[in-house]
Amino acid sequence: MKQLHDRQPLILDAAYYDAWLDPATPKDSLKDILSHDIDGQLQFNRVGREVNTSAVNKLPNDHPGLVGPINPL
């Protein structure tokens, strides 16, 4: 993610949900969860400028094609 942005989102495997949300989880255990490496698990695609528009001709701009890859010119 470093090549995309200097802040990394927290992406938890479902196995860690309960521990992350439980206030009784020891801090050391949370550090282990935070050190989970997600490199190679995400796919990045260049998307069109259309993703920045909330509506087109007053219709909601919300369809699966918004997150699909585009072919740059």
Per-residue pLDDT of the chain (73 residues; tens, 9 = 90+): 566 667 767 778 888 899 999 999 999 888 888 776 666 777 777 777 777 887 777 777 777 877 777 776 5
Question: Is-above-0.75 flag for pTM?
Answer: no
Tokens of 49: 């400028």
What integer pLDDT is reported at residue 22 of this predicted model? 95
pLDDT for res 26? 93
- The number of angstroms, rounded, from the C-alpha of 8 to the middle of its chain's C-alpha atoms is 9
Nearest to 45 by CA among 27, 9, 72: 72
pLDDT of residue 1: 58
